[in-house]
Amino acid sequence: MATWVNPDEKPTPQPGKHKIFLFVMTQNYDAQLNLENDLASAAAAKGILTVKSIDAFGPIVTLDRLPKTDVLLKAIRDLGCDAIFTVAVVDQTEKTHYVQGGYSGGFVPYAGYGYTYSGYYAYSPAFYSPGYYTSDKTYFIESNLFSALTEKMLVSMQSKVVNPPDITKASKQYTQMLMTELQARGFVKD
């Protein structure tokens, strides 16, 4: 994970003093729901209050549902949030490669087999496995923490995820990684 911390802004983690607006910026409803729920749970465990964008605005399934910036900022401030935490997939790549097929075992008849099927099968089975294509998907994810009052970026974290498991498991792993990094940078108390 690559992390940038704004040198002009000092982290002030004070449990119970901050309320963070969580905004997973995706058109994938399941991803938004899982990530925002996991982030809210992890923040609550650290004494941080949150508001999830999915609760405030509903799912953002199309770009025309995205609130205008001034409407969004006013709503965030009206909710009493002093910070905004965003998560977005900034790039995705897919690489396909061929996995060579072949034989397992080998056929080398010799007298030890007794030249029988049983001898051959017991000592040196040779099975052909055809080759196949496989794809690796890599997602580049950026998470940012902004001040809701000044709109300044406080911290930015970029990471990549290769062939993530199902969204539920990936969400929990990613949330844990984010919390660990925010804690290491002084934005979350232990």
Instruction: Return d(Cα 32, Cα 60) in angstroms, integer.
Output: 9
**135's tokens:** 């794809």
141 with 158: CB under 8 angstroms?
Answer: yes
Nearest one of 137, 182, 166, 164 to 22, comparing CA atoms? 182
The owner of tokens 């002009």 is 8
Model pTM score? 0.78
Query: For residue 91, which amino acid is it?
Result: D
Q: Tens of pLDDT along 55-68?
A: 998 887 667 777 78
Q: Is the pLDDT of residue 41 over 90?
A: yes
**Rounded percentage of the chain residues whose pLDDT exceeds 90:** 39
Query: What tens digit of pLDDT does each residue of 101-149 get?
Result: 766 555 555 555 556 666 666 555 556 678 888 888 888 999 999 999 9
Distance, in Å, from the CA atom of 147 to the CA atom of 141, rounded to the nearest integer, reads 20
Which residues are CB-neighbours of 17 under 8 A, at least 6 positions away?
none
